[in-house]
Chains A and B, each alone.
Chain A
Amino acid sequence: MKRFPLAALIAAFFIFLLWTVSVRQALLFGVGIGLGATLAGARFGFTTGWRQLIENRDPKGVTGQVLLLGLAALLAMPLLAAYPELTAALGPPSISLLLGAFVFGLTMQIADGCGSGTLYKAGLGIPLNMGILPLFALGSFLGSVHLGDWLSLGQIEPVGLVDLWGAEKALAATLVGLAVALLAVRWWVGSGKAWLDRRWVWGAVILALLATLNLLIAGQPWGVVYGFGLWAAKAAHAAQVFDPTGNMFWSQEGNAQILTQTVLLDVTSITNIGILAGALWISANASGATKPLTKQQWLIGLGAGFLLGYSSRLAFGCNVGAMLSGVSTGSLHGWIWIPLAFAGTLVGVRVRRHFRF
């Protein structure tokens, strides 16, 4: 489909939301479109950036991601301090976080996409990612169903640096942490490498601005995984194979309420739909060429997609909810997530190579 009729359809859905759901949801759909168009247009892949660093000692993708985290933190932390009604992405440091982040980092290399990557690549029409999306949703749902059992293995209360130290100190600590990460990258890649690439830089700047808009409008940071789990939970509840009243996660007042209403009222779902739409709009002018996969690669890729969803719930977010939103809003769990997911990725790139993806 060409871009103009697509833009007309997307505009019609925007007006539908504005008229029948709420102004806030229409605005968040618009933010989602921007996120999807930027992710797809800049090919801003968290997964690819890490893989290029490991396999090619190419730091450009990771530098773009560090820039994104730093800019998002610069914008988000003062807002969190100024507006008490805004919330940070606070996940509990726990056994489930350690395991979930490791498995997520491993499987995202096989599935060739994290949370946002799976969304925008599905929007672009890449067959494996379109196939992964429903399995990601199923995994995310089952992860949320089992979350109480995983948390019983050990957890501490979430730690928010802005609450603990105030915005200035939290921001300083975050920027120092990101600088240390860049020093580690410099040690790994050696001298004489190009560090910046235009598409990673403009992608980082726009994504940071849109993530901040999401925080201002929704009152909470950008997330992806919750929406997927909610969609599968609604389907399972409707099919009478799942009773939320007996479940630790879904019986909580907020989640139980969200489960009874349309997903168009859920902030994460609406930005997810926007990301798909934004990437679809970008794909209208693309060639559509995709790398063919064998049956074995399909099976392994789809299995990895299911595990992506499951592990992202255990890890309290994916690259967006835990890494970007966690770090930029001062959550300790984001800083724990990164090294564990990177360790998983070290294994994942080898598995990926073994199966010739």
Chain B
Amino acid sequence: MTAQTNTPLPPEPVNRSTLTALKVLFWVALIGFLSWDWVVSPTIDLRNEPPVIAAGSGQAPTGGHCSMAK
């Protein structure tokens, strides 16, 4: 009589076509989000561009940062 073990079977490897489908889904979702955002957001005022290089521009940065509490 052989002893039974409770070791679970190893998961099936992700096959190549499933992996490709996941990658396509990921990029379609991302590009879809960016496209939706572009369509619903106000038009960019190209005459009011931020400085190309912030250093030396004299203008405070306008971006958000994860270290900011406010």
Find chain B residues with CB under 8 A from A235 CB: 33
Contact with B along A286-299 (1 / 0, CB 8 A): 00101011100100
Find chain B residues with CB under 8 A from A238 CB: 40
Find chain A residues with CB under 8 A from B57 CB: 85, 219
**Interface SS of chain B:** loop
Within 8 A of B (CB), among A223-247: 223-226, 229-231, 234-235, 238
By the criterion CB–CB under 8 Å, are B66 and A225 in contact?
yes
Measured between C-beta atoms, what is the minimum distance from B46 to chain A in Å?
8
Contact with A along B5-23 (1 / 0, CB 8 A): 0001011111010010011
Q: For the complex, what is the distance from the CA of A220 to the CA of B30, rounded to whole Å?
A: 25
Flag whether A312 is at the interface (Cβ < 8 A).
yes
By the criterion CB–CB under 8 Å, are A218 and B61 in contact?
yes
Measured between C-beta atoms, what is the minimum distance from A82 to chain B in Å?
8
Closest Cβ neighbor of A130 among chain B residues: B26
Chain B binder among A39-47, A161-169, A175-183, A321-329: A321-329
Closest Cβ neighbor of B51 among chain A residues: A24
Known contacts being A23-B49, A85-B54, A231-B33, is A321 close to B11, with CB within 8 Å?
no
7 additional A-B pairs beyond A215-B55, A261-B44, beta carbons within 8 Å, are A22-B44, A24-B52, A158-B67, A221-B65, A258-B62, A268-B64, A273-B30
Cβ-closest 10 pairs across A and B: A219-B54, A219-B61, A267-B63, A321-B66, A262-B41, A225-B66, A91-B67, A89-B67, A292-B11, A317-B66
